[in-house]
Protein backbone atom coordinates (compact mmCIF):
# COMPACT_ATOMS: atom_id res chain seq x y z
CA UNK A 1 0.00 0.00 0.00
CA UNK A 2 1.20 3.51 -0.68
CA UNK A 3 0.43 7.09 0.07
CA UNK A 4 2.41 9.32 -2.23
CA UNK A 5 3.11 12.89 -1.37
CA UNK A 6 4.37 13.70 -4.81
CA UNK A 7 5.06 11.61 -7.91
CA UNK A 8 8.05 11.87 -10.19
CA UNK A 9 7.73 14.07 -13.25
CA UNK A 10 9.33 13.55 -16.61
CA UNK A 11 12.54 15.44 -16.94
CA UNK A 12 13.19 15.58 -13.20
CA UNK A 13 16.80 14.76 -12.38
CA UNK A 14 17.62 11.56 -10.54
CA UNK A 15 18.10 12.08 -6.81
CA UNK A 16 19.45 9.90 -4.00
CA UNK A 17 16.89 8.80 -1.43
CA UNK A 18 16.79 7.89 2.23
CA UNK A 19 14.26 5.21 3.13
CA UNK A 20 13.34 5.59 6.80
CA UNK A 21 11.53 3.07 8.97
CA UNK A 22 8.67 4.52 11.01
CA UNK A 23 8.09 2.95 14.44
CA UNK A 24 11.22 3.09 16.57
CA UNK A 25 13.08 5.31 14.11
CA UNK A 26 10.81 8.30 13.50
CA UNK A 27 8.45 7.84 16.44
CA UNK A 28 8.63 6.12 19.80
CA UNK A 29 8.35 2.33 19.67
CA UNK A 30 5.20 1.41 21.60
CA UNK A 31 4.37 -1.90 20.02
CA UNK A 32 1.38 -1.25 17.77
CA UNK A 33 0.47 2.40 17.29
CA UNK A 34 -3.26 1.72 17.52
CA UNK A 35 -4.34 5.29 18.30
CA UNK A 36 -3.11 8.71 17.14
CA UNK A 37 -2.27 9.63 20.74
CA UNK A 38 0.41 6.92 20.71
CA UNK A 39 2.31 8.53 17.85
CA UNK A 40 5.12 10.58 19.40
CA UNK A 41 8.06 11.86 17.35
CA UNK A 42 11.52 11.03 18.64
CA UNK A 43 13.93 13.91 19.39
CA UNK A 44 15.54 15.73 16.45
CA UNK A 45 13.65 13.71 13.84
CA UNK A 46 12.25 16.81 12.13
CA UNK A 47 15.71 18.38 12.10
CA UNK A 48 17.16 15.24 10.52
CA UNK A 49 14.55 15.11 7.76
CA UNK A 50 14.92 18.84 7.11
CA UNK A 51 18.66 18.34 6.62
CA UNK A 52 17.96 15.66 4.03
CA UNK A 53 15.50 17.99 2.27
CA UNK A 54 18.06 20.79 2.20
CA UNK A 55 20.78 18.52 0.81
CA UNK A 56 18.80 17.19 -2.13
CA UNK A 57 17.71 13.80 -0.83
CA UNK A 58 14.28 12.33 -1.40
CA UNK A 59 12.80 11.17 1.91
CA UNK A 60 10.55 8.12 2.06
CA UNK A 61 8.94 6.36 5.00
CA UNK A 62 8.82 2.57 4.61
CA UNK A 63 6.95 0.66 7.30
CA UNK A 64 5.35 -2.70 8.06
CA UNK A 65 1.90 -2.21 9.58
CA UNK A 66 0.75 -5.79 10.11
CA UNK A 67 -1.67 -4.62 12.80
CA UNK A 68 -4.10 -4.05 9.93
CA UNK A 69 -4.03 -7.72 8.89
CA UNK A 70 -4.06 -8.85 12.52
CA UNK A 71 -7.26 -6.87 13.14
CA UNK A 72 -5.72 -4.56 15.74
CA UNK A 73 -6.76 -1.40 13.88
CA UNK A 74 -8.30 -0.42 10.52
CA UNK A 75 -6.22 0.72 7.59
CA UNK A 76 -7.84 4.15 7.87
CA UNK A 77 -5.98 4.65 11.14
CA UNK A 78 -2.66 4.16 9.38
CA UNK A 79 -3.54 6.95 6.96
CA UNK A 80 -4.68 9.17 9.83
CA UNK A 81 -1.43 8.66 11.73
CA UNK A 82 0.57 9.37 8.59
CA UNK A 83 -1.31 12.63 8.09
CA UNK A 84 -0.51 13.56 11.68
CA UNK A 85 3.15 12.67 11.14
CA UNK A 86 3.40 14.74 7.96
CA UNK A 87 1.65 17.72 9.57
CA UNK A 88 3.92 17.58 12.63
CA UNK A 89 7.01 17.50 10.45
CA UNK A 90 5.83 20.22 8.07
CA UNK A 91 5.27 22.53 11.03
CA UNK A 92 9.00 22.16 11.68
CA UNK A 93 10.03 22.63 8.07
CA UNK A 94 10.54 18.95 7.26
CA UNK A 95 8.96 17.23 4.26
CA UNK A 96 8.35 13.57 3.46
CA UNK A 97 8.24 12.85 -0.28
CA UNK A 98 6.38 9.56 -0.03
CA UNK A 99 5.03 7.02 2.44
CA UNK A 100 4.96 3.33 1.58
CA UNK A 101 3.56 0.75 3.97
CA UNK A 102 2.69 -2.93 4.07
CA UNK A 103 -0.59 -3.87 5.83
CA UNK A 104 -0.17 -7.61 5.21
CA UNK A 105 0.52 -10.59 7.45
CA UNK A 106 0.12 -14.17 6.17
CA UNK A 107 -1.65 -15.49 9.28
CA UNK A 108 -3.74 -12.36 9.87
CA UNK A 109 -7.46 -12.42 10.64
CA UNK A 110 -8.56 -9.85 8.04
CA UNK A 111 -8.79 -11.94 4.88
CA UNK A 112 -8.08 -9.09 2.51
CA UNK A 113 -4.67 -8.54 4.08
CA UNK A 114 -3.86 -12.08 5.27
CA UNK A 115 -1.62 -12.82 2.31
CA UNK A 116 2.00 -13.49 1.49
CA UNK A 117 3.23 -10.36 -0.25
CA UNK A 118 6.32 -8.77 -1.74
CA UNK A 119 6.08 -5.57 0.28
CA UNK A 120 6.53 -6.85 3.83
CA UNK A 121 10.07 -6.10 4.97
CA UNK A 122 12.65 -7.57 4.57
CA UNK A 123 11.25 -7.95 1.05
CA UNK A 124 12.04 -5.02 -1.20
CA UNK A 125 8.50 -4.25 -2.39
CA UNK A 126 8.25 -0.90 -0.59
CA UNK A 127 11.48 0.29 -2.18
CA UNK A 128 10.32 -1.04 -5.54
CA UNK A 129 7.12 1.03 -5.24
CA UNK A 130 9.17 4.17 -4.65
CA UNK A 131 11.42 3.42 -7.62
CA UNK A 132 8.39 3.17 -9.90
CA UNK A 133 7.12 6.58 -8.81
CA UNK A 134 10.34 8.56 -8.43
CA UNK A 135 13.64 8.99 -10.28
CA UNK A 136 15.99 7.58 -7.62
CA UNK A 137 19.77 7.34 -7.64
CA UNK A 138 19.78 3.99 -5.88
CA UNK A 139 23.60 3.76 -5.72
CA UNK A 140 23.77 6.75 -3.39
CA UNK A 141 20.65 5.93 -1.40
CA UNK A 142 20.33 4.68 2.17
CA UNK A 143 17.98 2.75 4.45
CA UNK A 144 17.71 3.76 8.11
CA UNK A 145 15.87 1.61 10.63
CA UNK A 146 15.88 0.01 14.07
CA UNK A 147 15.51 -3.67 13.10
CA UNK A 148 17.45 -6.29 11.20
CA UNK A 149 14.59 -6.53 8.70
CA UNK A 150 15.43 -2.98 7.61
CA UNK A 151 19.06 -3.96 7.10
CA UNK A 152 18.09 -7.13 5.23
CA UNK A 153 15.79 -5.14 2.96
CA UNK A 154 18.61 -2.71 2.19
CA UNK A 155 21.01 -5.52 1.32
CA UNK A 156 18.48 -7.20 -0.96
CA UNK A 157 17.90 -3.89 -2.75
CA UNK A 158 21.61 -3.11 -3.03
CA UNK A 159 21.36 -0.05 -0.79
CA UNK A 160 23.60 1.06 2.06
CA UNK A 161 22.10 0.79 5.55
CA UNK A 162 22.25 2.31 9.02
CA UNK A 163 20.86 0.66 12.14
CA UNK A 164 19.79 3.09 14.86
CA UNK A 165 19.86 2.37 18.59
CA UNK A 166 16.37 3.77 19.17
CA UNK A 167 13.31 1.50 19.21
CA UNK A 168 14.37 -2.15 19.01
CA UNK A 169 17.87 -1.14 17.92
CA UNK A 170 19.91 -1.97 21.01
CA UNK A 171 18.41 -5.44 21.29
CA UNK A 172 18.90 -6.08 17.59
CA UNK A 173 22.56 -5.05 17.84
CA UNK A 174 23.26 -7.23 20.87
CA UNK A 175 21.22 -10.33 20.10
CA UNK A 176 20.00 -10.49 16.51
CA UNK A 177 22.85 -9.17 14.35
CA UNK A 178 25.37 -11.73 15.67
CA UNK A 179 22.93 -14.60 15.11
CA UNK A 180 21.95 -13.48 11.61
CA UNK A 181 25.49 -12.58 10.59
CA UNK A 182 24.28 -9.33 9.05
CA UNK A 183 26.25 -6.10 9.29
CA UNK A 184 24.87 -2.63 8.52
CA UNK A 185 27.15 -0.05 6.96
CA UNK A 186 26.91 2.02 10.12
CA UNK A 187 25.31 2.06 13.58
CA UNK A 188 24.00 5.40 14.88
CA UNK A 189 22.45 6.61 18.11
CA UNK A 190 19.33 7.86 16.33
CA UNK A 191 17.96 9.30 13.11
CA UNK A 192 19.71 12.67 13.44
CA UNK A 193 23.11 11.04 13.94
CA UNK A 194 22.41 8.68 11.04
CA UNK A 195 21.63 11.59 8.73
CA UNK A 196 24.76 13.45 9.84
CA UNK A 197 26.80 10.35 8.97
CA UNK A 198 25.23 10.20 5.51
CA UNK A 199 25.92 13.87 4.82
CA UNK A 200 29.50 13.59 6.05
CA UNK A 201 30.19 10.59 3.85
| Number of folded domains that form the chain | 1
- Condensed to tens digits (0 to 9), the pLDDT of residues 3-47 reads 444 444 455 689 999 999 999 999 999 889 999 999 999 999 999
In this prediction, residue 11 carries a pLDDT of: 58
The single residue of 21, 146, 150, 193 carrying the catalytic annotation is 21
By C-alpha distance, which of 146, 143, 191 is closest to 167?
146
What CATH number does residue 104 fall under? 3.40.50.1000
Q: What's the mean pLDDT in 172-193? A: 96
Order of all β-strands in the sheet with 98-102: 2-4, 98-102, 58-64, 17-20, 142-145, 160-164, 186-188
Find the Cα–Cα–Cα–Cα dihedral 167, 170, 175, 181, rounded to 10°.
Answer: 90
The range of the structural domain enclosing residue 57 comes to 2-200
> What's the whole-model pTM score?
0.93
Concerning whether 150 is annotated as a catalytic residue, the answer is: no
By C-alpha distance, which of 169, 128, 174 is closest to 149?
169
C-alpha R_g of the chain: 16
Q: Is the pLDDT of residue 167 over 80?
A: yes
**Alpha-carbon span 98 to 113, nearest angstrom:** 22
Q: What is the mean pLDDT of the chain?
A: 94
Q: What's the mean pLDDT in 86-92? A: 97
Amino acid sequence: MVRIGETARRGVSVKPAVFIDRDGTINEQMGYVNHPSRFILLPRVAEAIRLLNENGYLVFVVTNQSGVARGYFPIELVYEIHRRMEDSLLQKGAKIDGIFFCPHYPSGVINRYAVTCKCRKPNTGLIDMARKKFAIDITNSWVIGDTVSDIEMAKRAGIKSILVKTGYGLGEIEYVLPRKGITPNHIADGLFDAVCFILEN
